[in-house]
Structure 1
């Protein structure tokens, strides 16, 4: 599959409170075929730790033609 299912975008940035629900959302995206893109980020808003994780849909690139040197 060259495109994400259900009309989802190729790039996604999931954010939210650092809890089981956030981990579940990231896990579901991985199960769909997304790959983690970069490291997660975390910040503190004075009450909760807020996290972010970028995900990227892997593109299937056609083979590039071989060049003779």
Structure 2
């Protein structure tokens, strides 16, 4: 099973998001992609509950990163 989250954030957002992806469970993957100068994260795994929890975590982190990015852009 795979979930792809496309954002309006620039590709540099991967630098903020990637450090948490150190110890992945077996059969689980997170890929950080730059597509059309925008940050995309692709999460894959076989366990639906783990996948859901990871997507929830990433969305919470993206909400904070997006708010900070917008604040910095307004300065």
Larger Rg: 1
TM-score past 0.5 threshold: no
Bigger proportion of residues as strand? 1
When normalised by structure 2's length, the TM-score is: 0.33
